[in-house]
């Protein structure tokens, strides 16, 4: 009996050895490999975002992330650990309890914590917790240019703005390493295999940090003074299409984007649709001159402030009798502009609406841009020929208005606005550059110059007097548009105030578009938006004049470095 028991046991052992050696060898070898080797992903450095003068707007900083090995933590100690971690990390106890109850060797507890939190946890000397070095995206200017720069998430993946638009350049390529471990699972720092990470490229923007600050400071002042629902400003080089500054209100802190409101993160300058009001009259006026339908001194009777077209009655903000075409634009007469449009005809008017870029994307290299609304003439109503010229029945964006006024400022060309200047590696070598792009010729040089003179009159003698800059000749157009109510009628207490213009008028360096949504108690564009243009243009022009010698020095230094 004993003999047969041992014989049976021997047979069982042989069978078991056979199964282990031949049937499960692959599985067990892989299990051993996993126990003695660990795969570690090597994170690349995400590229830096710079302004045009190479001042950093987004950088990476080294931080620590907390993990736990629940298997190594005694069950009796977990509640005490949860209590300590909850007070330090400000994390719900239920979340920590769920993570520590898992039967795993590795779970994340908190990613990219502050240095103070890491020190407090280390001081607790808790078994089963560990730290891993990671990089965290940091935005040194906080609120400044938040809608341009955007932000990246915990895993350094771009989620908004330039961070999203240039993610393929910024993120780089991850590397990896296989690290040996001993029987107690301690790393031996002996890599078996390794592929080094490839760092991301840096992105240089066209914006200037100083100009951005000037624009945001003045926009913020108007936004708060007039209790506006929202506001946008764009500063642009009319000859190249480079965006020098772009800002919106409300705004948010890039370093605390998770706690910001969704409405504050919206880039209103490129994705908010609104009826432009009188600033749109530049299209009608330009078309009339270009098509030689009117001249500056042609006179139009403005019906003393009330003019019936089909079933609709147009009104001016104050009554006018006979006005020259120049005065029609300078005094922003709705009736006079509508009569000019009727001389043009709807087909010609629509042609110039499209030539100026309305109803299509400008192509700016920021995510979220919309096309706006510009209906074809076959969809126009009987009164459209009278209302569209004064900025009703059409939807535009702030960036479209900035591009449109640039046409007059630069001599008749529609330029593609852009905000990315170049892509470069960490050594400063250029990988890709972006140059000005002319979309199409819109106006002749003669028409652009004549429109320039007319728009100078708006500031010198017309509705834009508050935009007048001391010692600098400027040109522009005011706009005040009634907003639509939910029932489709125009509101009598909700308005969009705007001003678009350029300076100096004789040699334009900048164009500026200012939009305020529902300002109160004052709502006229010439009252609330024009002063913003004046203050921004004045400070920016002074800065550009002072910066010129500095830029020449930087160019010489850069050339010497390359040589």
CB 215 within 8 A of CB 223: no
In the chain, what's the furthest Cα-to-Cα distance?
Answer: 129
DSSP type of residue 154? T
Alpha-carbon span 146 to 435, nearest angstrom: 24
Q: Identify the CA nearest to 177 among candidates 153, 196, 155, 150.
A: 196
Alpha-carbon span 245 to 291, nearest angstrom: 34
CB 43 within 8 A of CB 134: yes
Catalytic residue among 65, 146, 278, 384: 278
Long-range contacts of 249-254, Cβ-Cβ distance < 8 Å, separation of 24 or more: 249/219, 249/220, 249/223, 250/223, 251/143, 251/146, 251/147, 251/216, 252/143, 252/146, 253/142, 253/143, 253/146, 254/58, 254/139, 254/141, 254/142, 254/143, 254/146, 254/149, 254/150, 254/151
3-state secondary structure 270-306: HHCCECCHHHHHHHHHHHHHHCCCCCCCCEEECHHHE
Residue 278 known to be catalytic: yes
**Residue 501, SS3 per DSSP:** strand
User: Which residue numbers are catalytic?
Assistant: 278
């Amino acid at each position: 009996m004993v003999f047969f028991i041992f014989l049976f046991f021997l047979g069982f052992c042989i069978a078991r050895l056979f199964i282990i050696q031949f049937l499960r060898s692959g599985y067990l070898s892989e299990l051993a490999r996993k126990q003695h080797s660990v795969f570690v992903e090597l994170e690349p450095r995400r590229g830096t975002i710079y302004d045009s003068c190479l001042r950093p707007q987004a950088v990476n900083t080294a931080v620590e992330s907390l993990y736990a090995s629940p298997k190594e933590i005694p069950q009796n100690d977990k509640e005490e650990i949860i209590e300590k971690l909850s007070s330090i990390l400000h994390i719900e106890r239920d979340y920590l309890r769920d993570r520590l109850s898992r039967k795993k060797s590795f779970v994340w507890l908190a990613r990219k914590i502050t240095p103070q939190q890491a020190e407090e946890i280390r001081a607790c000397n808790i078994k089963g917790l560990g730290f891993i070095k990671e990089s965290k995206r940091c935005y040194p200017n906080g609120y400044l240019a938040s809608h341009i720069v955007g932000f990246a998430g915990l895993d350094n993946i771009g989620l908004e703005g330039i961070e999203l638009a240039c993610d393929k350049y910024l993120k780089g390529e991850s590397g990896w390493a296989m690290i040996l471990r001993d029987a107690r699972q301690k790393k031996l720092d002996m890599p078996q295999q390794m592929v080094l990470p490839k760092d991301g490229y840096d992105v240089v923007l066209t914006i200037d940090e100083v100009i951005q600050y000037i624009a945001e400071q003045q926009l913020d002042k108007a936004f708060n003074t007039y209790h506006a629902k929202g506001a946008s400003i764009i500063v642009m080089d009319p000859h190249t299409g480079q965006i020098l500054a772009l800002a919106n209100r409300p705004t948010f802190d890039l370093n605390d984007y998770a706690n910001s409101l969704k409405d504050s993160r919206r880039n209103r300058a490129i994705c908010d649709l609104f009826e432009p009001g009188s600033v749109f009259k530049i299209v009608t006026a330009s078309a009339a001159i270009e098509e030689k339908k009117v001249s500056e001194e042609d006179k139009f009777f403005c019906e003393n402030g009330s003019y019936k077209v089909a079933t609709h009655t147009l009104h001016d903000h104050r009554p006018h009798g006979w006005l020259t075409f120049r005065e029609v634009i300078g005094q922003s007469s709705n009736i006079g502009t509508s009569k000019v449009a009727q001389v043009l005809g709807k087909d010609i008017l629509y042609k110039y609406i499209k030539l100026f870029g309305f109803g299509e994307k400008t192509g700016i290299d920021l995510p979220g841009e919309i096309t706006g609304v510009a209906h074809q003439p076959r969809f126009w109503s009987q009164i459209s020929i009278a209302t569209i010229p004064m900025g009703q029945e059409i939807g535009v964006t702030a960036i479209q208005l900035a591009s449109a006024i640039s046409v007059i400022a630069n001599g008749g060309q529609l330029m593609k606005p852009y905000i990315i200047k170049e892509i470069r590696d960490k050594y400063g070598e250029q990988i890709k550059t972006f140059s000005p792009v002319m979309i199409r010729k819109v106006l002749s040089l003669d028409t652009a110059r004549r429109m320039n003179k007319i728009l100078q009159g708006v500031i010198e003698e017309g509705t834009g007097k508050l935009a007048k800059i001391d010692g600098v000749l400027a040109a522009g157009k005011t706009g005040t548009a009634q907003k639509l109510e939910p029932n489709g009628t125009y509101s009598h207490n909700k308005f969009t105030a705007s001003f678009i213009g350029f300076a100096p008028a004789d040699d334009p360096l900048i164009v500026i578009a200012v939009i305020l949504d529902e300002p109160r108690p004052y709502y006229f564009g010439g009252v609330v938006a024009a002063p913003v243009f004046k203050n921004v243009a004045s400070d920016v022009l002074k800065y550009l004049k002072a910066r010129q010698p500095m830029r020449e020095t930087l160019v010489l230094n850069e050339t010497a470095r390359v040589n």
